[in-house]
Amino acid sequence: MKKLLFIVLISVIMITCSDPDPCAGIVCNNGGTCDNGTCECTEFYGGPSCSVPRVPTAILVSKIDILKWPTTTSAGGGWDLNGTGPDIFIAVVKNPGTANESTIHTSASASNNTGGGFLSYTPTLNISLSADGSTYSIRLYDDDDELGNEFMAGIIFTPSQEITGFPSTITLDAGGTVAYKLYVTYDFL
């Protein structure tokens, strides 16, 4: 009898002393994981269950593919006097068409192109676009050396309105003669 009572007492102690899993019943969304009863969220989400999208402070552009560009001038001629294709360079402008317009980036090199395919431009440092509702323009110019730069085409966009979620690429195509693919990451405070 003493032996049976001892076994029952040990069993009760073991049952009451075992720790329940602190993550039992905890759901962590969007790739979050449970650690000791608390959700550890990815950089893109927050909140108790990782269901609240975080708002980036900036969208960082590491590469721009130029998918389309005008192969001729608006008058139908070649871009250069010798009939070759344009010597394309990119300008990224914040607040285009306003008194606060400012060029935040200009590509350093131009290359002679005859159209077709696509061109890639990788800046030395990422181009930082504010995610605060600011408007930007990515413009293409033909570098005509001593004749100056000739505007080819551009797209005006607001980064915070162009994306849903956190894609690694953003395609900008207004249906005209120019289109871009931006390779992006996100900066959070």
Cβ-Cβ contacts under 8 Å for 90 (sequence gap 6 or more) = 64, 66, 105, 106, 107, 121, 138, 139, 140, 141
Residue 125 β-bridge partners: none
Nearest Cα to Cα of residue 88 among 155, 139, 125: 139
Using the predicted structure, report yes or no on whether residue 140 has a pLDDT greater than 60: yes
- 164 versus 47: which is more confidently predicted? 47
The runs of H, that is alpha helices, within the chain are 2-17, 159-162
Confidence (pLDDT) at 19: 66
Is residue 134 left, alpha or beta, with left meaning phi > 0 and alpha meaning psi from -120 to 50? beta
Question: Which pLDDT does position 7 carry in this prediction?
Answer: 57
Residue 15 has pLDDT above 80, yes or no: no
Per-residue model confidence (pLDDT) at position 109: 57
Token digits of residue 77: 């001629």
Question: What does the pLDDT read at residue 143?
Answer: 83
- Using pLDDT thresholds of 50, 70 and 90, give the confidence band for residue 20: confident
pLDDT recorded at residue 116:
54
Main-chain phi, psi angles of 2, to 5 degrees = -60, -40
DSSP annotation of 153 reads: E
Q: pLDDT band for position 4 (50/70/90)?
A: low
Residue 95: the pLDDT is 94
Instruction: Tell me the pLDDT tens digit for each residue of 60-117.
Output: 999 999 998 888 888 887 777 766 778 888 999 999 999 998 999 988 655 555 555 6
Looking at residues 146-174, what average pLDDT do you find?
A: 85
pLDDT score of 166 more than 70? yes
What is the residue-averaged pLDDT of the chain? 83
Cβ count within 10 A of residue 119: 14
Predicted local confidence at residue 113, as pLDDT: 54
**% of the chain beyond a pLDDT of 90:** 44
Look up the pTM and report it.
Answer: 0.77
